[in-house]
A = this chain, B = another copy of it.
Amino acid sequence: MGIPERKEREKEARREEILNAAQRVFFQKGVAVSTMDDIAQAAELSKGTLYLYYHSKEELYLAAANRGMDIMAHMFQDASATTDDPIMQIFRVGDAYYRFFREQRDFFRMFYFYESPEFHAGVSQGMLDQCRQQDQKVWAVVTAPIKRAIDEGLLHPELDPLEVGIMLWSNANGFLRLLDRNESYWKDAMGVDLLQTLRKSSALLLEAMMTEKAQQKYAGMILYKDSPVTEEEKE
């Protein structure tokens, strides 16, 4: 009998319709000022129905944010797959983060909430697990080339991949957040090329962590020179 299967599909479809509506509303109004009534109206459902599919507004937010995390993870994955050179991979992932910032600004802004301390209330265990899973997925893509670079003697062996990842991530994140609020000021008033600035700071960090061997290999690519990262790499 295919009826239970169809019902299951319809239930899943409705769950997704609700999430689509929520995402639209979040993007348009901002998470904090979006109400469940807004979302219900956008979904053409009553508010009560939303709660049959999601336990709380937070959960709906997290589900939407997870979509963004998924997009980001895929962009990182794709960027990393364009080369075999671990140092290049690190740069490419950094570039991908910048591209995510440019192309998925709404999601980028939604992530501001992610680390707000007042979550974990009214959120189901399943959703929390899903979040942790997404976190780990992104983190794995970020740390994998770092670990390889250390193993291959390109970065100093005393370094810990996690530590390096945090440094690069914090650096990029700090930059992009600042950018998000003061874009026009930076770009128009000061004429700063933002992608280059971000790259330069990442390059500085990476160069500092490289072994001599690697510094020779990548000499001239980074640090006060124009970065040829976007050109085809020479293996």
Contacts and interface: CB of A to CB of B under 8 A. Distances in A.
B163 A201 contact: yes
A136 interface: no
Interface residues of A, number: 34
Contacts of A116: 32, 112-113, 116
Given A166-B175, A205-B208, A156 B224 contact: yes
This protein's copies in its complex: 2
A207 interface: yes
Interface string A150-177: 0000001010000100110111111101
A86 to B, nearest CB: 18
A183 to B, nearest CB: 14
A156 to B, nearest CB: 7
Interface string A111-122: 011011110000
A30 B119 CA distance: 12
A178 interface: yes
Interface of A: 30-33, 109, 112-113, 115-118, 156, 158, 163, 166-167, 169-175, 177-178, 197, 201, 204-205, 207-209, 223-224
